[in-house]
Structure 1
Amino acid sequence: MCTSWRSRSRRAGRAVPALGAAVLAVVALGAAPGPAAAHAPTWELTRTDTDVRFRGLAAVDRNTAWLAGAKGTVLRTTDGGAHWTPVSPPGAQTLEFRDVEAFDARRAVVLAIGEGEASRIFRTDDGGATWTESFRNTDPKAFYDCVTFFDHRHGLAMSDPVDGAYRILSTRDGGRSWRVLPTAGMPPAQSGEAGFAASGQCLVASGPKDVWLATGGGAVSRVLHSADRGLTWTAAETPIPAGDAARGVFGLAFRDRTHGIAVGGDYNAGLPSPRAAAVTGDAGRSWTPAAQPPPAYRSGVAWLPHSRTAALAVGPTGTDLTTDAGRTWRTVDAGSYDTVDCARDGGCWAAGEKGRAARLSHR
C-alpha cells in the first residue's frame, strides 16, 4: 500500500480538502491537554454488504479506495464509501487476497497468498470489469505475502524464505509480468522467520528505489532494506519482540527514505504485546522502541498526509495516534481494523474483519 509514488504525482500546490485540513487540526491539537481529545480522528464506518475480512487496502484519494479480502473479494468505491462495488476477478472465490496496490480508480494490482499456486497476482485496467492473471506461483515452497510499487511501472512482491532466503518478484511494466530476482544479495533468513500477510504492509517502498521488508517468527524481529529495488539487502534487528511464530513486525510505513515506523507484537488474542512499535531515522539501519507504544498488537500503520510527525496504527483492539513521529501513542478509537492507508489529498481509510471499511473524519 505504498503511497509514495502517488504522492509525487499530485501537484505540490494543490489545496488540501476539508478532510485533509481536519487531519492537520488533529496534528496541531494532538499533543495538547484537555480539548485535544475532542478533536481526535474518528472512523466513519461504511457499508460494504459483506462479512469477509479485508487485509488489503489502497487509498487513491478521499473518494476512491480499493479493498481486497477473503473469498477472492475485491471492492472499489469512487464516492467516498457511500457505495462499494464488487469487482472481484472471476473464479477467485477460493483465493485469499491480502494486498492491493491501486494506481488510480481504474488500474490496480491484487495479490492472493498461500502455498504453491494459491499465490497469484492479478491486474485490472478498467476498474475491475476485467482482470488478467499476471503471475501464478509454481514453487510449492514459496508463499507470497505482500506487494508494493515504487511508481506506476516498477514494483516488487515478496515470498517467505525459500531455501533459506526471501524470494523477491520484480515487475517493470506495472504488474503485467513478473520475474524472480536473484538471491545473491539477500541475507540468510533466520530459522522460523517469515513475513506476515496481515495488512499488506510487510513490504513497503518510498521513493524510486528504496524498499523495506518486515519479518517475525525468528529469534529476533528484523527489517530488511534495499536501496536498489530489491537487488541487494541489509538486515537490522528491531526491538519489537519475536521468538514465536505469532510475534514480530507486522506493518511498516515510511514517510520518506529515512523516517519510518514499525508496528507489530503478538497477534494471538488476549496476549500482551509490549514494545509494539519502533521508529527509525536512518532508513532502517537502526530502530528505537517507542517510549509509549500502543497498548496491544497492531498490524497496520500509515503516516497522516501533510505531516512529518503524525501517524495512525490499527489493530483488532483499536486505533492509536502519534503526533511525535512514533515516539508516543494514544488510543483514539476502539474499533477493530487490520489495515490503514492514506492518500495525499487527506483521504485516510481503514479496513478489517466482518466487512469493516471506514473513512477518517473529524468531529
Structure 2
Amino acid sequence: MRKYIIGAVFGALLMLSTTAFANKPLMEIKAWLWPTPIQINVNGLLTTSNPDEVQVLNYNDQAYVPLRYVAEKLGATVNFKPEGTDWVHLNGNRITIDSADNQGLTVKDQDGIISLGNFQFIPKHGGTMLTFQMKQNKELPAEKPFLNLSFFDRQHKLIYSQAVTLSFYAHGKGGVQTLFVQLDALVPTLDASQITASLSHDAVIGELPGRLIPLTESTYILQIVMTDAQYGWAKGDGTVLRTTDGGKTWLIATPQGLQLYGAGSSIANHDSAFVGNHAWVAKPPISYYEESEVTVWHTDNGGQTWKRATLPITENWEQSSSALMNFIDEKNGFVFLASRDGENRKYSIYSTSDGGNQWTRVAEVTGLVFFTQRGISFLDSHNGWIATGNRLMHTTDGGKNWTAMSITLPSAYNQYRCYLDIAPQFFGTDPQVGFLQVPISSSQGSLVLLYVTRDGGKTWNPSGENVVSDSEEMKIIDDHTVYMLSRKKAKNNFKYQLYLTENAGQTWTLKSEFDIPSLQNLYTWQFLNLSDGWISDAYPGKVFGTHDGGLTWTQLRSPK
C-alpha cells in the first residue's frame, strides 16, 4: 500500500538529521514513499538496492533518490556541513560531492597516507586560491597534524611553502574531498610535477618579501612604537608601518600577499607586536576567505622579508577568533586567540621561544571578561598578567593556570570602583619593579592611581596619593620615571597636560601644558626618554614630535 510522509524532503534525500536545519524555516510538503529498487552498474559491478532499506520518494511525479547512497556507489564522497560549524559554512548549509580516479591524484606524501591532484590556481584576494582534491589512503597520524605544500619553478627552485591544518579538512579514510586553500603568495599555475606534499609535526615556514611602499595618503595610525629617535613601527589601517626618519615619512611594511581588514572594519581580527627591528603580525582566518589556519608573520630585518608560521590550533572556534599578541623580547612571545562567544568567551594561549617560527599550545582559558592587547603583559616566559575588568589575573607557569589578584584601593577612595584595562609594565634595570595603572571612577568623576610592585608582581600597592584625572595610558621610561598625559576640553579643541614622576609616583610635576590646533584628537602617544616623544591622531594619520620633553611640538607627517 502506498504511504505518504509529511516533512523535509531535502533532509530525507540526504539521509541526514533534520535537526541540522533547525535554524532555517522549512516548507512542509507531501511526498509518497515509492518502493522502487535502484540498480547501479559501475565498470561491470552491478548492485541493486533493497527498497525496504533504501527508500525512494515520489514528489510531483518525480523520483527523488538518496543522494549519499547513489554517490557513494558511484565512488564519490558526500559530506554535509551545517551552518556555522566552520569558517566556510557561516552563511548557510553546504553539501559537497567529490569524485576522482587515482590517475589524477599523483602527488603523495612520504608515507602514502594521502594523495593529491587536479590542482587549480586562481588569483584571488591579492594572492592565489589553490583548489585540489585529496584522498585519504590511511589513517592520519595524530603526531603529524600539518600538510606542508611546496611549490617549485621549472628549474626546481622553491617558490613558496605553506602549511595546512589537515584535521580541519580530512573526513576519513577512503574518501575524496576538495580543499580550498588561500595561498598568501602569488603562485603561478603549476603542474603536479612542480608540487610536493609532506605530513609533519611542525608546520613548514613560508617566506615572502616585504613591500616597503611609501605611505602618502590619509590612513589610521593606531599605535606608535619607536625603537630609537629615528627608527620605529606603527599599526596602520590593516597594515604595519615603518619609519626610518623619526616619524616624518612612513613605509607600508606588510608582507606581500597578506590580507588584513582595516581599522574601520567590524571584523578586524589581527594584532601585531614590535621589538627593535623585529615585528610580528598574528592573523586568524577571515571568514570570507577559503582558509583555516591561524598564521603569525615575523620579520627580523625591518620588514624587508617576512616568514609565515602556522599555529597548531585544535578547536573549530579558533578558526573564527581574534588575535592578541605580546612579545617579551626578540625570542619569547605569546598569542591569545579569543572566541566571539560574548559572555562565554574562550581564550587559547600559544607561546614561542624562537622568535615565532614554532608555536606551542599552552592552555585554554575560560572565565575572563573581554580584554585588549594592552591588557596583556609578561615579565618573562613564566610570569604574566591580564588586566580584565576589576581583576588582575596572574600566571606563574607561562599561562597554563591563572589566579586572581585583588587590588585594594586607598581608604580615601572607598567610594570609587576600578576597571583595569592596562596590564602591568616592567621596564628599567630592576626586573622586580613594575607599574600598574588603576583607573577609578565614581559619581564625583574619574581618576587614575599608579600602583607599584617591588617584588616582581607578587604584591601591588599605591605609590602615592597624587592622582591625575582624565589620563591617557602612562608611558614608563625606567623603573622610577613615568610620564602621564591628561586632557581637558578647551573651546574648539583639547588642552593637554604632561605630568612627570621621577620617584615612582610619590610626587608628580606638571612638565608642560600644550594644545595643538591641527590635532583634533590625540589617539596614541609615546615617550622614548625624557626628551623624545610622539603623538598621533589615529585618522587621518598626522604625527607630531617633541625633542624637549613636550614643551614644544612639531608636525612631522601631513597626509594628503
Matched, 1:67 2:234: yes
- 1:347–1:359 CA contact under 8 A, matched in 2: yes
**Greater CA drift, 319-328 or 57-66:** 319-328
Separation of aligned partners in 2, 1:104 and 1:350: 19
Matched, 1:144 2:323: yes
1:132-187 residue CA offsets vs partner (Å, 9 max, x unmatched): 44357762674333x2223322211234478666432211221233332124xx6x
Matched, 1:179 2:360: yes
Separation of aligned partners in 2, 1:356 and 1:280: 36
**Corresponding position of 1:168:** 349
- The number of equivalent residue pairs is 293
Match 1:311 to one of 472, 479, 482? 482
- 1:66–1:77 CA contact under 8 A, matched in 2: yes
- 2:318–2:338 CA contact under 8 A, matched in 1: no
**Corresponding position of 2:402:** 233
Q: What SS does the aligned partner of 2:356 have?
A: coil
1:56-108 residue CA offsets vs partner (Å, 9 max, x unmatched): 33332222110013x21221112222322222344535144875433433x31
Separation of aligned partners in 2, 1:310 and 1:100: 27
- 1:119–1:143 CA contact under 8 A, matched in 2: no
Separation of aligned partners in 2, 1:293 and 1:325: 13
Q: Structure 1 residues 353 and 215, CA, compared in 2 at 3 Å: closer, same or farther?
A: same
**Corresponding position of 2:333:** 155
- 2:283–2:296 CA contact under 8 A, matched in 1: yes
Separation of aligned partners in 1, 2:248 and 2:408: 41
**Corresponding position of 1:110:** 281
Matched, 1:223 2:392: yes
Matched, 1:257 2:431: yes
Matched, 1:248 2:248: no
1:258 deviates by 2.6
Match 1:353 to one of 507, 530, 538? 538
Larger Cα-atom Rg: 2
**Corresponding position of 2:297:** 122
Matched, 1:293 2:502: no
1:339 deviates by 4.3
Structure 2: gaps (5+ residues) = 1-213, 263-267, 410-415, 489-495, 516-520, 552-560
Give the counterpart letter for 2:359 in structure 1: W
**Greater CA drift, 201-210 or 345-354:** 345-354
Separation of aligned partners in 1, 2:499 and 2:310: 36
Greater relative contact order structure (CA < 8 Å, 6+ sep): 1
**Corresponding position of 2:185:** none
Separation of aligned partners in 2, 1:258 and 1:74: 32
**Greater CA drift, 111-120 or 348-357:** 111-120
- Percent identity of the aligned residues? 22
- 1:261–1:277 CA contact under 8 A, matched in 2: yes
TM-score, structure 1 normalization: 0.64
Matched, 1:323 2:490: no
Separation of aligned partners in 2, 1:301 and 1:284: 18
- 2:452–2:460 CA contact under 8 A, matched in 1: yes
Root-mean-square deviation (CA, aligned residues, Å) is 4.1
Separation of aligned partners in 2, 1:164 and 1:98: 17
Q: Structure 1 residues 54 and 113, CA, compared in 2 at 3 Å: closer, same or farther?
A: farther
1:181-239 residue CA offsets vs partner (Å, 9 max, x unmatched): 124xx6x635xx22124xxx3222335643322222xxx2x222334433443331335
1:21-63 residue CA offsets vs partner (Å, 9 max, x unmatched): xxxxxxxxxxxxxxxxxxxxxxxxxx97454443333332222
**Corresponding position of 2:372:** 196
Match 1:55 to one of 222, 230, 243? 222
Q: Structure 1 residues 160 and 321, CA, compared in 2 at 3 Å: closer, same or farther?
A: farther
Separation of aligned partners in 2, 1:206 and 1:182: 19
- 2:481–2:500 CA contact under 8 A, matched in 1: yes
- 1:120–1:135 CA contact under 8 A, matched in 2: yes
Matched, 1:86 2:258: no
- 1:67–1:100 CA contact under 8 A, matched in 2: no
Structure 1: gaps (5+ residues) = 1-46
